[in-house]
Amino acid sequence: MPHKVPVLNLRGGCDEDVDPSAGLEEMKKLAKSGSTKVAADVLLAGTGHRMLNTNLPPTHTKEGGVGDCPASKVAAPEAAQAQAAQITASFLDQALHKSKSYRLPALKGLDPKGGNLRKDGPAVTFHRALSGPSPIRARSAKSPRSSACCRRFRRT
């Protein structure tokens, strides 16, 4: 099924289960199909997918290393999660605003790499984030009770 919306693929550079290039060929095919203007592929240094999914237990191998990466090259799980969350939130915000180019935050020390694989689409670049890893708080939207649309449906 072709995608008509911007697509972001995050890959881990130090993955426990798959090669760091996993998913890249699919993204290249998507870019080549021309069905979306943005087929962004981002490699997160020092990161494995188990770090990004808080429902999975971490994998520790080779004296603290992960995948093919030695311990010295592995990101802290909290930093990897913050990086993925900030990139994803920024990408979605820019996609919803139909940005002519995408600037994604890069936390110091994690240095994500990548860009838009659709060469005639909007550029996807990185800029140094102003702060270190910080959680992105979940928020919910609340409708104002006094709005005209809601008063009609309010029970008395």
The tokens describing 35, both together, are: 């069905």
Digits of tens for pLDDT over the chain (156 positions)?
456 899 999 999 988 888 889 899 999 999 999 999 999 999 998 888 888 877 877 666 657 788 888 888 888 888 888 899 999 999 999 999 999 999 999 988 788 999 999 999 999 999 998 665 555 555 555 544 544 444 444 444
pTM (2 decimals)? 0.78
Residues 58/26, Cβ–Cβ less than 8 Å: no
Per-residue pLDDT, 147: 45
What pLDDT shows up at residue 137? Answer: 59
E strands, 29-150, in order: 39-44, 101-106, 113-116, 123-128
Q: Across the strands, what pairs with 124?
A: 102
Calpha distance 103→94 (Å, rounded): 8
Count Cβ atoms below 10 Å from residue 149 Cβ, excluding itself.
8
